[in-house]
Structure 1
Amino acid sequence: MTLPLLKKNQACLPGCFAEFSNCRITLDCTEFQVANARDNMDTQKQTYSNYKSRNTFKALVGVAPNGVITFVSDLYPGSKSDKEIVADSGVLKQLYAGDLVLADKGSLIQDLMPHGDSLNLPPFLTNGVFTKQESVFMIKIARARIHVERAIGRIKRYAVLDLIPSHMRCYASIMFKVCAALVNLQNLLISEVSGQYEGGEDAK
């Protein structure tokens, strides 16, 4: 997938991104359960997710500020870290200087960011309590980041991804990407943006 340019994102920027107007993409990883490969212990080990305590495939999903899915990676073994997936997926190679990426604080991808790009993460708790400024910033990021989680939730509604059988492993990435594409054919995640397309000056 080719990411839309920043100017295109800004043309339909929802209010929750008012302070993140240079955001190019919001990233998050998700996991899908996969049946054990009982005939291959190495494969079982690779797909075992310590976070989920079961065998999974993991993928990276990116959405534009308007809630449209603009990037999906291939599926990776569940043992891969979010950072490894971001680095290997190639999404950061599509960024330009000045672009902003929103991500979960667990992704730890600061050192992967290209020169001139920036990353906004929820603040880490340092002294046992967040400052008022940190709390306000967390709320603003959460309101912006929720849309990638909602997009992932829509992808997971497709029952074909509930449990990927062993004999379908070779098609899993294709299945996942088709489901993501189908999500983009549904009603827009953000009603505010939907109104821009359906009526008013922005729709003309």
Structure 2
Amino acid sequence: MLQTLKTYYNISELPKISYNQHQKPCFESSNIAFNLTHSQNFIGLIISSQTTTLGIDIEAIIPRRNFLGLLQRTFTTPETQWILQSESHDQSIDIREFSQIKNHPPLNNDEMIRFFLLWSAKEAYLKADGRGLQGLNTLCLNPKRSTMSGDLNKGTLLLTTLSVADTEALNSIALYLPHNLLADLSIQTLAITSHHQAIYRPLSIKWDFQLLESDSLPS
């Protein structure tokens, strides 16, 4: 983070970090906001001097315990149907009912990817909200319609997967930022040389999904 502040904001020392009542970190004496995440193979940082409403999440797409229990506790019915989409599923049935969830076979690879895309999306949204799990019950994502609804407004969620170089390992990544900052979004990778020099390189990401809040939709 300090290297990014030096490179893009001409700040030579890391400002003191404090935490709000919901434990979201922030700089005490700076108008620069940030959000951090890490996974097995990635560290992600989103940073801006134009807003405090930022969120980022990266998750390793690997089998976890109790996927089906997490589906029931974490996702809405439309979200669960999207994750488990299949011609064999009856979309008229409320598949959040435990009797149906527990009888579903283990998630296949495509279902697992969709699970983690929405998991990262919810994490990024809630981290941008800054209230932790308090906003979870009001958050609903609809990748089919490219929309979302929750306690925030005028925002955008970007979702995709990233692969690890020379491996088949995948990670889900989600960013939340105000819609009016989307055009200014710049994504860089950071490498540290053997001489401890930092090298930033532009990274082009093809986002699989872009979800807009209803008040961000073009008129």
Fold match (TM-score > 0.5): no
Report which of the two has the higher share of strand: 2
Normalising by structure 1, report the TM-score. 0.25
Normalising by structure 2, report the TM-score. 0.23
